[in-house]
Amino acid sequence: MSNPRRYTLTISCPDRAGIIAAVSGFIAEHNGFIVEASYHTEVDANLFFMRQEILADSLPFDAEEFSRRFVPLAKVFKMTWQLSDSSEKKRLVILVSKQDHCLNDLLYRWRSGELLVEISCVISNHEDLRSFVEWHRIPFIHVDMPGNDETAKAVAFEKIATLFEQYQGDCMVLARFMQILPPWLCQRYTGRIINIHHSFLPSFVGAKPYHQAYQRGVKLIGATCHFVSEDLDAGPIIEQDTMRIDHGDTVEDLVRYGRDIEKTVLSRALRYHVEDRVLVCGSKTIVFR
């Protein structure tokens, strides 16, 4: 049995008395039925965050009319807000290099209906995964990125941005895409690019974090899913997880363990994002699980 259609309303605004009452009252005034509600106040920033799911069929109008009527209330409270419709699936553009464990996991969850998205295309700087992606009847686009040719790389990233627009992407997913995105691309799609980093950030940024962790003799390894920013591996964190290791584990063991953590963390974070459960607050996130 499929879930009933829902509208998800997300809000951030300066904190003050009466916000919850005003929004809930607006919905109740139109006989709207709230089926899930979450709230959080970030005290230091004096910001209030809200997420509400409303049964679409309980309202006498569609999402466009809801938005039009909600504007005056939003202005009163100086809200930054968004209304999404569960019947309109988010469109993902996935970027990947040679490693396939995260991509494989996402495609399985998509194919099984666990991840309710549209995968518009997969872009890669290598040809290795073409047949695997095309078996799923998903467009695969190879964008060459010569190792030391910065001019060619700049052209390649321009092509990626063009493809993202062409395929009407809502979210760009870096599923072990082993290239550093240029600042202009990070700025253009702020809050719309998600990366999985094979380390428990902020420790061990950059390349080969498992090797760094092994050399430091850490007792925990992990993975971090975050929004991409201009600063390498420093964007707002969405989800993390860890596992315990010991002195007997080799670098190869750490890499093997890490693959399992990476794909789990990425899929969880992506689900939170496409369900509009993630709101950015400065350098961190509010995640309504």
Q: Determine which one of 57, 233, 241, 246 is catalytic.
A: 233
Q: Tell me how far apart the alpha carbons of residues 238 and 245 are, in angstroms, rounded to a whole number.
A: 24
Give residues with Cβ within 8 angstroms of 45, minimum separation 6.
Answer: 281, 282
What Rg, from alpha-carbon coordinates, does the chain have?
21
Given CA atoms 58, 61, 63, 65 in this order, what sign does their dihedral have?
negative
Tell me the three state secondary structure of residue 12: strand
Which whole-number Å values give the CA distances from 63 to 7, 170, 232, in the listed order?
7, 18, 37
Of 127, 60, 133, give the one whose Cα is nearest residue 93.
Answer: 133
Q: Is 276 a catalytic site residue? A: no
- Read off φ and ψ for residue 29, nearest 5 degrees: -55, -30
Burial class (CB in 10 A: 0-12, 13-18, 19+), 113: exposed
Residue of 287, 261, 226 lying closest to 10 (CA atoms): 287
Task: Compute CA distances 161 → 94, 194, 245, whole Å.
Answer: 12, 15, 40
DSSP states along 157-204: HHHHHHHHHHTT-SEEEESS--SPPPHHHHHHTTTTEEEEESS-TTSS
- Whether residue 197 contacts residue 126, with contact meaning beta carbons closer than 8 Å, is answered with no
Catalytic residue annotation: 233
